[in-house]
Amino acid sequence: MKHTFLVLFLMGSLAVSAQSSRYTEAMAKQTADLDSSSTFNPENLQQKSNTFERIAEAEKTQWLPYYYAAYMQIMQAFTSKDKSQIDPLTEKATINLDKAEALISKNSEIACLRSLIASAKLTVDPMNRGPVYGPEAAAQLVTAKTLNPENPRVYMLEGQALLFTPEQWGGSKTKAKTTLELALTKFAAFKPESDISPKWGEAYTRGLLQNASK
């Protein structure tokens, strides 16, 4: 009798570990090439966001697939040539982030993506949307920094904002350079929580830094 219980218990944990290894494997495969520039073509992004969404909806208790699905959709918004796609894509990303946030509250990475969403929405109509989404993008970065001052993506996004903003509006190449260099030191020190936790952005930051050093 005792043994039967033990066997059932073991079986149960075995099934769970099989389940989670399937999850980690799938996620590891999907997140492996997020820093490679070849990932960032519309077809790939669409495929990846779909895959992450499938994993997210099958798991339902993991925040990371929702997070990555949103990230892919945001990148689709930024790379899309059709401005009218930006709003629906970012709205979709927002829904995914809301689901992620329901599973893990107060997360610096999620705040970073929300900042990107605001920036993407702004580009649709900078004249009219600037006053709303400009501050929103900045406020999300402030939140992200408060939640985790060691998150390198916060500094990467700050540096990017400084780099691409005209000087009259508070942008500055020299400041961008300092912030991006800080981002790189943060990347070097950054230890992701797991193999599949967010760690993207270092290669992109180097690219930005090159741009800022010109």
Catalog residues that contact other proteins under the rule CB under 8 A.
Answer: 3, 6-7, 10-11, 14, 18, 22, 26, 43, 46-47, 50-51, 53-55, 57-58, 78, 83-84, 88-89, 92, 119-120, 122-123, 125-128, 130-132, 134-139, 141-142, 158, 160-162, 164-166, 168-171
Residue 32 C-beta: closest distance to other proteins, Å: 16
Residue 50 C-beta: closest distance to other proteins, Å: 4
Closer residue to other proteins in complex, CB, 14/102:
14
CA 43 to chain centroid, in Å, comes to: 18
Closer residue to other proteins in complex, CB, 103/175:
175
Residue 58 C-beta: closest distance to other proteins, Å: 5
Residue 136 C-beta: closest distance to other proteins, Å: 8
Residue 82 C-beta: closest distance to other proteins, Å: 9
Closer residue to other proteins in complex, CB, 27/189:
27
d(CA 114, CA 95): 11
d(CA 121, CA 8): 52
Closer residue to other proteins in complex, CB, 75/100:
75
Closer residue to other proteins in complex, CB, 82/193:
82
Measured at the alpha carbon of residue 199, what is the angle toward residues 192 and 111, in degrees to the nearest 5? 95
d(CA 197, CA 107): 12
Residue 165 C-beta: closest distance to other proteins, Å: 5
Closer residue to other proteins in complex, CB, 104/138:
138
